[in-house]
Amino acid sequence: MGSHSDGTPHQSGSVATTGTTAMERFPDPGLPPHRPRLTDVDSKAAKRAERQIALLFLISILGSVLFFVGYFGVRVEGPIYDVTNTAPTQRLQLQNLLLGLGIALAMFGIGLGIVHWARTLMPGHELVQSRHEIRTEEQRAEAQSILATIYDESGIRRRPLLRNTLIGAAVLAPLPFVGLLKDLGPTDLDVLKHTLWDDGVRLVRDPSGTPIKASDVTLGSTFHVVPENLSAIGHNEGYLDEKAKAVVLLMRLDPETVNVSPEKADWNVDGIFAYSKVCTHVGCPVALYEQQTHHLLCPCHQSTFDLANECEVIFGPAARPLPQLPISVDDEGYLVARSDFHEPVGPTYSQRGTHVEEMQGEAN
């Protein structure tokens, strides 16, 4: 066995024993001859490419405008999927079409325009530069001058049509995403502090709206419940928002199997408990009830709440228990709320800081 010039051993063989350097054995083949593009030799073709690129940027601008028309200009008022009044559903479909088409055109136009520009009008000659770290002032100055050359050769200075349409497309294209981010949650966190529940408000079945007597709730049964006063809110006055905050799960448990803290001892009616249905992780409806284990499961990310221990989290990403709604019965035997929730419902991230403590302070 021989060894390389750096002293590492190698197996014998014709290639390894020649003693030549890698450069000698594998010479750099160099670059293929440069072939000018049509736009390099034909000024009409270059002009045509410039117009095509500007058109793509204009398509991008049009896409962003379409998005904003759909987002701000199309109002969906009234209940959707109502067979007696299809207008809201049609407007929702129109809005979805404009939002989707707008984003698609905005991204497509700007992306394809830049690629087309790079392939047809930016300098086509090949450049080779060996890699090295930028350390000295001279090297930094050289890098800056290379960037300046790229800026010059890209044609941005010479082609105001492309520059202006590109600026328009680049400024507008990210704005749809800002709009979508804004819709991830309420900007006014106070709206999560209060729901329609209040002292004496009856619990009614969702969606029939019929009130519930304590005797209707048998051991192991579950009811999806909303406040009776929800029906007084019109669809144009925030019906869906109020419903989303106020939905409650109602079930009867064997009082012997449930741990109840002293301050919540009178929040249930003979083992009938009401808990917010809005998951404290990111707000999905908690709807799976395991009767045998007394577990409530959120289908989105599997957060599991233990009904036997005031809905404390026993698994999953949720950070706090489901808020409990204090309930009692009225003179006619119907289940009613004793108050609003004592803490904000919904995702914990929306209650940054002291929201929970503030509300608990207000309630006490």
**Distance, CA of 16 to CA of 152 (rounded, Å):** 48
Q: Which two tokens stand for residue 355?
A: 């929201």
Taking the complex as a whole, the smallest distance from the CB of residue 323 to ligand FES amounts, in Å, to 14
**Distance, CA of 125 to CA of 144 (rounded, Å):** 20
How open is the CA angle 190-197-322, to the nearest 5 degrees? Answer: 75
Nearer to ligand FES, 303 or 351 (CB): 303
**Three-state DSSP state, 202:** strand
Q: Which residues contribute to the site for ligand FES (CB under 6 A)?
A: 279, 281-284, 298, 300-301, 303, 316-318
Taking the complex as a whole, the smallest distance from the CB of residue 185 to ligand FES amounts, in Å, to 13
193 closest CA partner among 346, 69, 34, 299: 346
Nearer to ligand FES, 177 or 315 (CB): 315
**Distance, CA of 307 to CA of 292 (rounded, Å):** 11
Taking the complex as a whole, the smallest distance from the CB of residue 36 to ligand FES amounts, in Å, to 58
**Distance, CA of 279 to CA of 319 (rounded, Å):** 10
3-class SS shares of the chain: helix, strand, coil, % to 5: 45, 15, 45
Taking the complex as a whole, the smallest distance from the CB of residue 275 to ligand FES amounts, in Å, to 13
Q: Which two tokens stand for residue 148?
A: 């300046």
Number of other CB atoms surrounding residue 134 within 10 Å: 10
Taking the complex as a whole, the smallest distance from the CB of residue 302 to ligand FES amounts, in Å, to 6
Q: Name the DSSP class of 272.
A: E
Nearer to ligand FES, 37 or 243 (CB): 243
Nearer to ligand FES, 123 or 185 (CB): 185
Nearer to ligand FES, 111 or 185 (CB): 185
Taking the complex as a whole, the smallest distance from the CB of residue 296 to ligand FES amounts, in Å, to 10
Q: Which two tokens stand for residue 291?
A: 């009767």
Nearer to ligand FES, 65 or 287 (CB): 287
Yes or no: say if 106 and 67 are a contact pair by the CB < 8 Å rule: yes
Taking the complex as a whole, the smallest distance from the CB of residue 352 to ligand FES amounts, in Å, to 18
Q: Name the DSSP class of 211.
A: B
Nearer to ligand FES, 159 or 281 (CB): 281
Nearer to ligand FES, 56 or 296 (CB): 296
One-letter identity of residue 363? A
Taking the complex as a whole, the smallest distance from the CB of residue 307 to ligand FES amounts, in Å, to 16
